[in-house]
Amino acid sequence: MEQRAGKALLKASGLTKRFGDILANDSVDLTINEGEIHALLGENGAGKSTLVKMFYGSLEADAGSIEWSGEPVSIGNPAMARQLGIGMVFQHFSLFEALTVVENIALALPKPGNMSALSARIKEVSEDYGLPLDPADIVADLPVGIRQRIEIVRCLLQEPKLIIMDEPTSVLTPQEADRLFVTLKRLASEGCAVLYISHRLEEVKQICHHATILRHGKVVAECDPTKETAKSLAQLMVGSAVHLVNRSTSATKTGDVRLELIGLESPAQTPFGTSLQAIDLDVFAGEVVAIAGVAGNGQGELFDVISGEVRVKSDMLMIDGESAGRLNINERRQRNCAFVPEERLGHGAVPGMKLSKNIILTRHTTGEGIVQAGFVSDRRAAELEKKVQSEFDVRMSQPDPDAKSLSGGNLQKFVVGRELDRQPGVLVVNQPTWGVDAGAAALIRQGLIELAHSGSAVLVISQDLDEIFEIADRIAVISRGQLSDAEPVEEMTREKVGLLMAGGAEKHAPMTEGAA
């Protein structure tokens, strides 16, 4: 499939960027050709984000040069990048929820012109590329997949020659991802180049013509991904064989119910939140139950209720057969529960505190010797920090650093490892491997499986279907605040999950071909 016949559009030579003692990019050479979907792969902390930020003008290189259509350029800011023809669709959207689609797009255009004319243009371009939008829709009312369409159409209206896409399918159903791939292939056929960043290696194999792999800030390989396997691509990324997740001793659901939700109801806590409606779920000792769904359908609200950050009626939530809906988070921890939130920096860990201090924050009430006679034992906290660091391969530049100094993947390993190390009876984790590379993801997923096999009940909330089918014993789907029945993984397919994600999770709602 490799298609490198087009002339060079963007050429980076010797790009180098340093942050203090950290060499984020080390003399990177990379060429992107016209009409090419070019994958940029690498572990967390490999330097991908730093590199594309230099292409987009958000960062300035310390050394090296960039050529655009054969001419040397200096891209001083994103506005200059857009003038050249470089657009970027970010993983985390930059939309104002209270505004309409057309208002959001107008804010990003240098000369938006008449709003009626812009609305007509949005309709024309979005429908032409298979990404239909209603310019009058309020963003807050739209599912995440449609919000991504807004970002892409906003980028297309600037008539880019190169589009940089960062983890574009992380918020999409399988059906929406397939539609996106059709759009990207069409753009490439029209001569537009796409720089595609993703940890999902199967989709890289499916749509990309060429791949550049970064490791520790350096280019270590280039290849045609269609001639590789997901395993060989992962090995190029990490530099060694990637541990395979083993679910061979799958749960048989014979243990006791350790976590139970009974007719759970919870109103939205914010104007743009999602209300939870009549949720029933049981998680048995010895199994992993996964909840799939597109972001924004109540996952965060469900986690907050189960963790105790939002309280519900006492009998709506049971832990080991006892009512727990009114307990706070520390009281639930004392009942042998552990929780890993989606946002690792700020919610899962305090950025400016050392890792040992972050250990104290979630484990000071769990009777592990961290608090003795009313005094905090820094020695015990340091012991636990070193244990988590060793067992979960948390890589750091100095002993016991601040949480904010770790790369995203290493901080995620620490936050998940801190809770797994407790061997809790119930573990609830939201997006366990969000933005995490293949090696770290395998380590985390294996840890969740092994915890379940030890007799714990593990509930995983995830948008990653690869992850869900790899680790789950049963799968449920959340949509618009309602939860489908949890069914054995053997009885679920990606298509069935995708239809439920697209709106069929209402209780006993029949699935039809048109549901997507």
Tell whether 229 and 325 lie within a shared domain: no
Q: What is the mean pLDDT of residues 34-48?
A: 89
Q: How crowded is residue 190: how many other Cβ atoms within 10 Å of its Cβ?
A: 9
- 69 and 155, same domain (yes or no): yes
Residues 45 and 114 in one domain: yes
The whole-number average pLDDT for the span 294-305 is 90
Whether 352 and 342 have beta carbons less than 8 Å apart is answered as no
- Tell me the per-residue pLDDT of 183-239, one tens digit each, with 9 for 90 and over: 899 999 999 999 999 888 889 999 999 999 999 899 999 999 999 998 899 888 877
How would you write 459-495 as a 3-class SS string?
EEECCCHHHHHHHCCEEEEEECCEECCCEEHHHCCHH
Distance from CA of residue 12 to its chain's centroid? Answer: 28
* Burial group, residue 159, by CB count within 10 angstroms (0-12, 13-18, 19+): exposed
Mean pLDDT of 243-258: 70
Tell whether 211 and 278 lie within a shared domain. Answer: no
Regarding whether 16 and 150 lie in a shared domain, the answer is yes
Q: How far apart are CA 262 and CA 459, in angstroms?
A: 16
Q: Is the pLDDT of residue 32 over 60?
A: yes
* CA distance to 46, 74, 154, 193, 403, per residue, from 34 (Å): 25, 20, 21, 5, 41
- List the end-to-end C-alpha distance of the chain, in Å, as a whole number: 30
Domain membership of residue 408 (yes or no) is: no
Q: Give the per-residue pLDDT at 504.
A: 55
102 and 47 within one domain: yes
The residue among 169, 203, 238 that closes a domain is: 238
215 and 292 in a common domain: no
Domain count, the chain: 2
Residue 509: inside a domain: yes
DSSP assigned state of 7: P
Per-residue pLDDT tens over the stretch 438-494: 778 888 999 999 999 999 999 999 988 888 999 999 999 999 999 999 999 999 998
**Tell me, what amino acid is at 354?**
K
Instruction: Quote the CA–CA distance of 452 and 448 in Å, as a whole number.
Output: 6
Residue 150 lies in a domain: yes
Average pLDDT over residues 80-85: 93
- Among 206, 238, 270, the domain boundary falls at 238
Q: How many residues does the chain have?
A: 516
Range of the domain at 510: 257-336+424-515
Residue 28 lies in a domain: yes
- Of 238, 272, 306, the last residue of a domain is 238
Give domain status of residue 360, yes or no. Answer: no
Please check whether residues 195 and 297 belong to one and the same domain.
no
- Does residue 303 fall inside a structural domain? yes
CATH number of the domain within which 480 lies: 3.40.50.300
Shared domain for 225 and 301, answered yes or no, is no
Region 41-61 average pLDDT:
90
Least confident of 47-61, 93-107, 497-511: 497-511
For residues 264 and 217, state if they share a domain. Answer: no
> Residue 196 is encoded by which pair of tokens?
């595609």
**Does any domain span residue 414?**
no
Domain for residue 109, yes or no?
yes
